[in-house]
Structure formats: C-alpha cells, structure tokens
C-alpha cells in the first residue's frame, strides 16, 4: 500500500487532504503536536512531536519513509532536510503574503516576491524566512532529494480554520449589530479558498508529479467576492442584513478597531494606512487550471454556508492570544463613535453640482438616411 505523511493536518485543509489521499489508496500518518485533534482523523496513525526543530524532527521521524509528504505546518525547511531521500514527492504549503504588492490584478506566479523592507508591518522577519523555505524546497528537488512542489495558500475557510474570519460577521449578527462600516464601499478584492478546493490543489499536484515537480502554484478558487459581497453572504446565511456605511479609509483607517475587519487585509503597509489605500489581492489560478486541470470541487457559496454552520456549533476562542480574534476586534463603542461622527458630517454635506444622466454615445437614427 502507498503511504503518505501529512504534517499538521488538523486545521482547515487537513480533513479534505486526508480524504483525498485515502480515496487514492494511501495509508496516511499525521505528524503534529497533538494539541488539536479532529474526529475525522482519529483513526489514523498519529506521531505527536514538534515539527519546528530539526533535532525533534529527526527523533520523531527516525527510520521512517513515505511515498508522499504534505507539509502544511512546522518549519518546512527542516522537514525537507530530514525527509531528503525518505519520500518521493514533498509538497510544501506556503502563503500568499510572500508575494509582493504590484500594480494591477491578478497576482500570478510571475509576480515578484516581497522585499523585507516593503513587508507589511508584523511580517518583516517572517517573509524572508518564507522565501528561504520556498527556495530550499525547490532546491532540494533540483538536487534529487525528492520531487518538490510549493503551493501558496490564500485565506482558507472552512471548519477547523486557525483564524476564522467569518466570526467577525457571525458575532456581530449574534449581537444584532445593524450598521457595518465599509472602506471604499467594500469593493476591495481579496482571495479566499474553501478548504476542499485548496486540498484539491494538493491532490492534483500529487496526481501529476511529473508536471508539478519543481513548480510553485498559487492557490485560489475560481469564484471570488468583494468584501461587501462576502459579508452579505455570511449574514444572509443567518437571515440578517447589515446597513452598510461607506467611510473613506483616510477617516476609518486600516487597522483601526472602529472598523470591522480593518486589520484583516492581506497587505497592510504603512504607506497604505497613511494614504487610506485599499489594496486588491486577486490571485490567479490559471497556471494550476492549465497544468493540473484544477476546477473548484465545492461551490464557494455553499461552503460559506457550511462554514457558518460549523462555527455556530463550535464557536472559536476570542481571547486575542496566538493571533486569534480578541476584544479589539469587537470594539462596538469605537464603531458607534465613528458612526455618530460620520452621520454628523453627512448632515453638513453641501450640494455642489447638478446631477445628470449621460446619454449613450452612439447615434440611433430614427429614419433611414438616404443620399
């Protein structure tokens, strides 16, 4: 029987990856710290250890070999070193923050990676390490340690997600908050991927090792939503509708606790904050569609509904620890103050110009022009 090692596996995509591996006839082992367990994976072999330090990895995996390895967690460059020669195909899960900010959309695999000096605040030290890891995995493949593939995840949503951004919306619905501040009309685009769709990229890369070897693929489902659409979809699942208030980001700045989700934009840089600029992050999956035959396996709208149902039944911790949502993400007092300020501004809005409807630019003769 073919064997597979999934490192991590207990967050959003693990269940779907394991299900796909089982369907393909793999005997699956999970290697993780053991701090989180999910019912769907309890019947598998679990190696409980620390996949972050090389000496621990060597001890935990000593003498073991697997046909394929999917590293969704841990210090991947150390995992790749230890597993060199001990697997045929090594798939590393990276992340979209490694990609630099560039004019225009979409973001592709040809978009330059982020420079440390331009990294978003809070990621200055991490991004160079992610770049180093991507390079080390590809280099290991070039040396012949194994076939290597790097997949860059965007925000992946679904049950067991580490940072369930949907809870920003769900909690406000439960608290019967009616008004929601949007910056730039909520037209900002950011890429998301349902966990089964993200897992499909992994499984297709394993299905086509000769194609995916030595490649980096950006992960994204084919249907994306603006912030306003995404918020509305979640609220509608709970039979709720928000009254949206459009306030410029120069007044309701990125990262401010007075604006829901203001700190969740993928690329928040100091100049974006000061200039009040909302930056799109629309990721192209064209390379994976062309080379691997990727197609969405679940409809995003349906998966959003399932995700909301899961979090209603299993509310996440909101304690602000380890990157989780915290009280600052639900600063209703600041939100209300901002609304009162903006409402006052609007009462003094002047009427500066007449309004008109522009006619269609092409001529529409009512009679034949006979010459």
Domain boundaries, the chain: 2-346
Residue 312 has pLDDT above 60, yes or no: yes
Residue with tokens 């019912």: 39
3.40.605.10, 3.40.190.10, 3.50.50.60, 3.40.50.720: CATH of 2-346: 3.40.50.720
What does the DSSP 8-state code read for residue 283? B
Three-point CA angle 52, 57, 61, nearest 5°: 145
Question: Hey, how many other C-beta atoms are within 10 angstroms of the C-beta on 239?
Answer: 7
How far is Cα 318 from Cα 329, in angstroms, rounded to an integer? 9
What pLDDT is stored for residue 370 in this prediction?
67
Q: List helix spans (H) across the chain.
A: 14-23, 54-61, 76-83, 126-143, 166-174, 195-207, 209-212, 227-237, 270-275, 286-292, 300-313, 332-347
φ/ψ (deg, to 5) at 147? -75, 135
Residue 218 has pLDDT above 80, yes or no: yes
Q: Which of 55-59, 95-99, 117-121, 134-138 has the lowest mean pLDDT?
A: 117-121
- Two tokens, residue 189: 């685009």
> Quick check: 281 and 191 in contact, CB under 8 A?
yes
Q: How confident is the model at residue 85 (pLDDT cuts 50, 70, 90)?
A: very high
Residue 267 has pLDDT above 70, yes or no: no
What pLDDT is stored for residue 123 in this prediction?
76
> Quick check: 159 and 303 in contact, CB under 8 A?
no
Which of 104-113, 135-144, 317-326 is predicted most confidently?
135-144
Query: Span 144-155, mean pLDDT?
Result: 96
How far is Cα 221 from Cα 156, in angstroms, rounded to an integer? 10
Residue 311 has pLDDT above 60, yes or no: yes
Query: Span 344-352, mean pLDDT?
Result: 88
How far is Cα 307 from Cα 114, in angstroms, rounded to an integer? 31
What does the DSSP 8-state code read for residue 39? G
Residue with tokens 């899961």: 310
Q: Which of 86-100, 115-129, 146-160, 282-296 has the lowest mean pLDDT?
A: 115-129
What pLDDT is stored for residue 157 in this prediction?
97
The burial class, CB within 10 Å (0-12 / 13-18 / 19+), for 49 is middle
Choice between 35 and 82, residue whose per-residue pLDDT is larger: 82
Q: How confident is the model at residue 292 (pLDDT cuts 50, 70, 90)?
A: very high
Query: Span 273-302, mean pLDDT?
Result: 91
Residue 142 has pLDDT above 70, yes or no: yes
Residue 198 has pLDDT above 70, yes or no: yes
**136: nearest Cα among 92, 169, 105, 181:** 92
How far is Cα 208 from Cα 291, in angstroms, rounded to an integer? 9
Query: Span 250-262, mean pLDDT?
Result: 86
Residue 266 has pLDDT above 60, yes or no: no
Residue with tokens 């149902």: 309
SS3 assignment, position 156? strand
**205: nearest Cα among 1, 8, 3, 21:** 21
- Helices 76-83 and 54-61: angle between axes, nearest 10 degrees: 40
């Amino acid at each position: 029987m073919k064997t597979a090692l999934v490192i991590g596996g207990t967050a959003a995509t693990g269940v779907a990856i394991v299900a796909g591996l089982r369907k393909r006839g793999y005997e699956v082992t999970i290697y993780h710290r053991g701090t989180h367990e999910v019912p769907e994976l309890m019947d598998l072999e679990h190696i409980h250890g620390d996949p972050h330090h090389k000496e621990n990895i060597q001890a935990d995996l000593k003498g073991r070999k697997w046909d394929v390895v999917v590293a969704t967690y841990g210090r991947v460059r150390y995992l790749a070193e230890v597993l060199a020669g001990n697997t045929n195909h090594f798939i590393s899960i990276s992340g979209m923050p490694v990609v630099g900010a560039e004019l225009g959309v979409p973001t592709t695999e040809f978009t330059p990676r982020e420079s440390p000096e331009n990294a978003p605040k809070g990621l200055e030290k991490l991004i160079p390490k992610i770049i180093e890891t991507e390079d080390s995995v590809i280099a290991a493949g070039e040396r012949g340690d194994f076939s290597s593939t790097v997949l860059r995840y965007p925000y992946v949503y679904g049950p067991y997600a580490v940072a369930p951004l949907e809870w920003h919306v769900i909690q406000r619905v439960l608290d019967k908050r009616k008004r929601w501040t949007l910056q730039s009309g909520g037209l900002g685009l950011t890429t998301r991927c349902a966990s089964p769709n993200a897992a499909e990229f992994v499984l297709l890369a394993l299905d086509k090792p000769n194609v995916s070897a030595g490649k980096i693929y950006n992960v994204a489902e084919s249907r994306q939503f603006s912030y306003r659409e995404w918020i509305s979809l979640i609220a509608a699942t709970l039979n709720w509708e928000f009254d949206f208030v459009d306030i410029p980001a120069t007044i309701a700045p990125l990262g401010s606790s007075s604006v829901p989700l203001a700190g969740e934009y993928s690329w928040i840089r100091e100049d974006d904050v000061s200039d009040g600029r909302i930056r799109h992050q629309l990721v192209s999956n064209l390379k994976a569609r062309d080379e691997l035959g990727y197609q969405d396996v679940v409809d995003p709208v349906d998966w959003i509904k399932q995700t909301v149902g899961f979090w209603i039944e299993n509310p996440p911790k909101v304690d602000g620890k380890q990157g989780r949502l915290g009280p600052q993400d639900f600063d209703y007092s600041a939100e209300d103050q901002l609304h009162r300020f903006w409402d006052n501004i609007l009462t003094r809005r002047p009427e500066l110009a007449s309004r008109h409807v522009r006619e269609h630019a092409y001529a529409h003769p009512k009679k034949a022009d006979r010459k």
